[in-house]
Amino acid sequence: MMTHEEAFKRAKAIVDKMTVEEAASQLRYDAPAVERLGVPAYNYWNEALHGVARAGTATVFPQAIGLGATFDTELENTIGKVIAEEGRAKYNAQSRHGDRDIYKGLTFWSPNINIFRDPRWGRGQETFGEDPYLTSRMGVAFVRGLQGDGEHLKAAACAKHFAVHSGPEELRHEFDAVVSEKDLRETYLPAFEALVKEADVEAFMGAYNRTNGEPCCGHHRLMVEILRDEWKYKGQFVSDCWAIRDFHEAHHVTDTAPESAALALHNGCDVNCGNTYLHMLTAYQEGLVTEDEIRLAATRALMTRVRLGVLDGTSEFDDIPYSACDSDEHAAVSLQAARECMVLLKNDGILPLDPDKLTSVAVMGPNANSQIALEGNYSGTSSRYVTPLEGIREALKGKARVYYSEGSHLYRNRMSNLSQPKDRLAEAAALAEECDVSILCLGLDSTIEGEQGDTGNEFSSGDKKTLDLPESQRLLLKTVLNAGKPVIVLMLAGSAMSIDEGNAILQCWYPGQAGGTAIADILFGKAAPCGKLPVTFYRSVDDLPDFCDYAMKNRTYRYYEGEALYPFGFGLSYTDFEYSGASYADGKVTVTVKNAGGMAAKAVTQVYVKDLESPFAVRNTKLCAFRKDLLQPGEEKQITLPLSADAFACWDDKGVKAVRSSRFILYVADHQCDERSVALSGSNGQAICVNL
């Protein structure tokens, strides 16, 4: 692949021919054409978090938090490849028609590799979860798939939001996230470093907030000392949208727009999503920035376009046809991802259901027939949506009667504005009494949880105030449970909710275009659930530290001091996996895993390390390896899991990483080996004592 050095040299030759005014114009996200030099217009703003977004019809995959729940890096790499293929197909077609507007380029501002440290954060759904190791593995796989391994980048990925960014949404433009050196290095930076060193990610995006006093899009320590100097990052840096304006309007670290532009440019922000860089020439005229700084940023911006091969139309991807979008092949990948992302949290034996033994089924709840609940935020538009109701109805065609009731609104009665709507509860009660089983489709959607300013988001600017279901849904759940018949709860949400009622609970996330088909496949035993929780499910917000406190104490499975409702890494199956013969040697764990049940299923083998000596180790355990294997009934397989270089290391209070202990325990199982995981699953894993 063309290196950054080669592309930089070619881009510099072009920028050297520009006037300073032309060079400054290339620092906008909507860079205008420089026709005399043959440089076409280009808009850097595009999104592809879980499919090409906001750009017409495209394959819609499960939301990122669901993809994190797959614990499947190979699948995530394939999804990246699909997105790049569809992105190229759209770019080729749109460019031929002269459309170079927003959401039409090949610079995708994905993935979001922030750490989902608090379940109240509305944008946590965009992340791969709460664990730095899982996030780094999924992020690296996605970036490698998206960018490809050809002579040119197939598409350009962007690691965001750098760094220490996870709410609150309503304060993000003015908030200062204060963190210790230990937490910075141990939790908030590892995934970003991995994407630089292992995936050669093309772009970085800064966050809105400040971190330890400096705004993240003009942060000397993060952007210069760590990203450029320490990690040797060569790519492009882009601001979050209108974040540089916050320097003078909200953070008050500057007084004017030219000063804000200068602060960002000084620290290496090359492209401005927003309009503050329209003041760059004023900053230049006032002596706040130099011509060399402007030209360096313009060169790094154009360098990405050179690596994509879009300046002269010479890439090997220029002939990908529009028919590559929304294909049957890509739809099959989305269905696979939907099946693999769903986490079975509870099952008293009712699942899987036998369609031949059912006469009637009630499908109820505000998310039963909701398209938006399939999508999550930053979504594309599919031509193939299948809601839970549609998937269940198709699966039971010719076998059982399917009844439907909305049961309640998502969070309130939008018609009457009542806080406790009861207009559909009688219908729900009647159906629950009539049918063999009720399938309740509850949860949230992006009108409740998401990014500040998106859709409605009237609950704390997209963040959640509670882990409970909205009151309207709690009334529905109580009504259906009171019927005394079996109840299966499907939770469509992008974050942890506190619910334990029902005979079975399936966490579906926002499962993408094929969500309804995948749900039916799992409910009726066509596929075994194999998702694992990428976040801790707590019992109440009362168990959490203050939302604004960015210290990791008592947060996530690595530091939590209580007992989780459902632990990180947990997820039931329709079969039992047995682990035996675990050993450690030469940086690798070897173990035999057996499918001891009667159904083919995928085992997610997880390795956790417990440091027995160092006072700087995480309080509990930390994930250090995982892999996913399909096993037939009765099949056993010996597998090997290489441990990461950091498996036995820990960070001290100064943020220095080292192996400080000689005694460790490695736990190997399809879940954490904490008491709660063992109690819920009924199975133990293997423990290995390691002396270094």
Per-residue pLDDT tens for 151-177? 999 999 999 999 999 999 999 999 999
Per-residue pLDDT tens for 477-492? 999 999 999 999 999 9
- Does the structure show a pLDDT above 70 at 459? no
- pLDDT given at position 596: 96
- Does the structure show a pLDDT above 80 at 141? yes
The residues that bridge with 488 in the sheet, in sequence order, are 439, 504
- Does the structure show a pLDDT above 90 at 453? no
- pLDDT given at position 411: 84
The verdict on 203 and 90 lying in the same domain is: yes
The separation between CA 380 and the C-alpha centre of its own chain, rounded to angstroms, equals 15
Q: What range defines the domain where residue 305 resides?
A: 4-324
Q: In Å, what is the CA distance from 689 to each residue of 583, 593, 637, 644, 670? A: 9, 19, 22, 17, 19
Average pLDDT over residues 498-504: 97
Per-residue pLDDT tens for 576-591? 999 999 999 999 999 9
The verdict on 315 and 356 lying in the same domain is: no
Please give the Cα distance from 288 to 255 (Å, whole number): 13
Q: In Å, what is the CA distance from 285 to each residue of 248, 258, 279, 288, 290? A: 19, 10, 10, 8, 9
- Give the pair of three-digit tokens for residue 88: 């190229």
The verdict on 500 and 438 lying in the same domain is: yes
Residue 240 lies in a domain: yes
Last residue of a domain, one of 297, 324, 351: 324
- pLDDT given at position 455: 45
Give which of 229, 206, 221, 200 is closest to 304, Cα–Cα: 200
* CB-CB contact of 502 with 488 (8 Å): yes
Secondary structure class of 438 (helix, strand, coil):
strand
Q: Active-site positions?
A: 240
The verdict on 259 and 316 lying in the same domain is: yes
* CB-CB contact of 616 with 182 (8 Å): yes
Cβ neighbors of 309 (< 8 A, separation 6 or more) are 151, 152, 153, 315, 316, 317, 318
Q: How many structural domains compose the chain? A: 3
Please give the Cα distance from 185 to 163 (Å, whole number): 11
Please give the Cα distance from 141 to 675 (Å, whole number): 32
Average pLDDT over residues 390-397: 98
Residue 540 lies in a domain: no
- DSSP assignment string, 604-624: EEEEEEEESS-TTS-SS-EEE
Per-residue pLDDT tens for 319-353? 999 999 999 999 999 999 999 999 999 999 999 99
Residue 232 lies in a domain: yes
Furthest CA-CA distance within the chain: 79
Give which of 210, 137, 228 is closest to 173, Cα–Cα: 210
For residue 382, the tally of other CB atoms under 10 A from its CB is: 22
Please give the Cα distance from 509 to 256 (Å, whole number): 43
Please give the Cα distance from 354 to 373 (Å, whole number): 26
Q: What percent of the chain has pLDDT over 90?
A: 95
The verdict on 179 and 257 lying in the same domain is: yes
Please give the Cα distance from 264 to 134 (Å, whole number): 31
- pLDDT given at position 390: 98
- Does the structure show a pLDDT above 90 at 287? yes
For residue 242, the tally of other CB atoms under 10 A from its CB is: 15
Average pLDDT over residues 58-83: 98
Average pLDDT over residues 433-454: 93
Last residue of a domain, one of 278, 294, 324: 324
* CB-CB contact of 308 with 153 (8 Å): yes
Per-residue pLDDT tens for 606-662? 999 999 999 999 999 999 999 999 999 999 999 999 998 899 999 999 999 999 999
- pLDDT given at position 26: 98
The verdict on 314 and 349 lying in the same domain is: no
The verdict on 419 and 467 lying in the same domain is: yes
- Does the structure show a pLDDT above 50 at 418? no
Cβ neighbors of 333 (< 8 A, separation 6 or more) are 59, 61, 75, 78, 79, 82
CATH number of the structural domain spanning residue 684: 2.60.40.10
* CB-CB contact of 494 with 567 (8 Å): no
- pLDDT given at position 413: 47
Average pLDDT taken over every residue of the chain: 96
- pLDDT given at position 645: 82
Average pLDDT over residues 364-368: 98
The verdict on 151 and 51 lying in the same domain is: yes
**Banded model confidence at residue 421, pLDDT cuts 50, 70, 90:** low
Residue 333 lies in a domain: no
Pair type for strands 504-507 and 487-492: parallel
Please give the Cα distance from 350 to 347 (Å, whole number): 6
The verdict on 432 and 477 lying in the same domain is: yes
- Does the structure show a pLDDT above 70 at 415? no
The verdict on 209 and 104 lying in the same domain is: yes
CATH number of the structural domain spanning residue 169: 3.20.20.300
Secondary structure class of 606 (helix, strand, coil):
strand
Residue 633 lies in a domain: yes
Phi first, then psi: what are they for 305, rounded to 5°? -70, -35
The verdict on 485 and 426 lying in the same domain is: yes
The verdict on 93 and 222 lying in the same domain is: yes
Residue 469 lies in a domain: yes
- pLDDT given at position 412: 65
Residue 139 lies in a domain: yes
- pLDDT given at position 461: 79
* CB-CB contact of 364 with 430 (8 Å): no
Average pLDDT over residues 552-574: 98
* Cis-peptide, bond into residue 163, ω within 30° of zero: yes
- Does the structure show a pLDDT above 50 at 416? no
Residue 238 lies in a domain: yes
- Give the pair of three-digit tokens for residue 676: 């709660």
Angle CA 331–334–338, to nearest 5: 140
Last residue of a domain, one of 271, 298, 324: 324
CATH number of the structural domain spanning residue 405: 3.40.50.1700
Per-residue pLDDT tens for 31-56? 999 999 999 999 999 999 999 999 99
- Does the structure show a pLDDT above 80 at 422? no
Per-residue pLDDT tens for 197-209? 999 999 999 999 9
* CB-CB contact of 463 with 172 (8 Å): no
- Give the pair of three-digit tokens for residue 472: 């309207």
